[in-house]
Amino acid sequence: MIPLLLEISVESLAAAAAAERGGANRIELCEYLAVGGVTPNDQLMRQTRKAVRIPIFSMIRPRDENFEYSLSELAQMRREIETAKDCGMNGVVLGILKPDRTVDVDRTRELIECAKPLPVTFHRAFDETPDLHAALEDVISTGATRILTSGGKPNAAQGAQVLADLVTAAGSRITILPGGGINASNLAEVARTTQVREFHSGLGTTLPYGQSSPADFESAVRQLRKIIDKTSSEPGVARS
């Protein structure tokens, strides 16, 4: 049986180390998680890479607000991708939309080409698109390897059935990564409904961003890890 994977988003070196101790399998490294995360600085990337052994995916997002970017911002994102590579990141997380909120396939593909050979997660900009199934096909066409999504709902628990439908539609073409409000109270049900193998949590609904101690953060991650391990042993769970 393939173990289920737990990705934890963090904005500090201490949180990254605590997440690894708690049983996280992968880190999404950001700054300013309270606004959804933006690109971490190179010092944070280098320090975190030295401190933890598990894979680290860096957010590539030059600012908060919307996901439409100017030519200068796109150039900045390309530079940030190169920095992530230089800092030893194992993947990047990004997403670009058009003014009508559909996926900007061409510009996203350009950044994914820039990121090679690193895998790319298309982040929750996906949830702002007007047609998730059309967006799914668009993201697949860009060459991204996974989509971080709450199924277009405020959180993954509310979007669990939509996520299950996306998993079916995606098949083996791309990984659907449920995220958004996942915590100890809803993780098991999201796992059972969606049948996915990977989960994402920033623990923002459990602990205030940037205000919890490393010990509390580690404990919260460990609780998620226990739930995932227990759920993975249930018959019929996570076969996709």
Mean pLDDT on 39-61:
98
pLDDT value, residue 236: 61
Boundaries of every domain in the chain: 5-232
Q: Is 36 exposed, middle or buried (0-12, 13-18, 19+ CB in 10 A)?
A: middle
The structural architecture, per CATH, of the domain 5-232 is Alpha-Beta Barrel (3.20)
| First-to-last C-alpha distance (Å) of the chain | 12
Phi, psi of 104 (to 5 degrees): -85, 90
237: pLDDT confidence band, cut at 50, 70 and 90? low
204: pLDDT confidence band, cut at 50, 70 and 90? confident
Write out the two tokens for 100.
């009508």
Measured between alpha carbons, how far is 127 from 231 in angstroms, rounded to an integer? Answer: 26
Predicted confidence (pLDDT) at residue 240 exceeds the cutoff of 90: no
Check whether the bond before 178 is cis (ω within 30° of 0): no
- Are the CB atoms for 234 and 192 separated by under 8 Å? yes
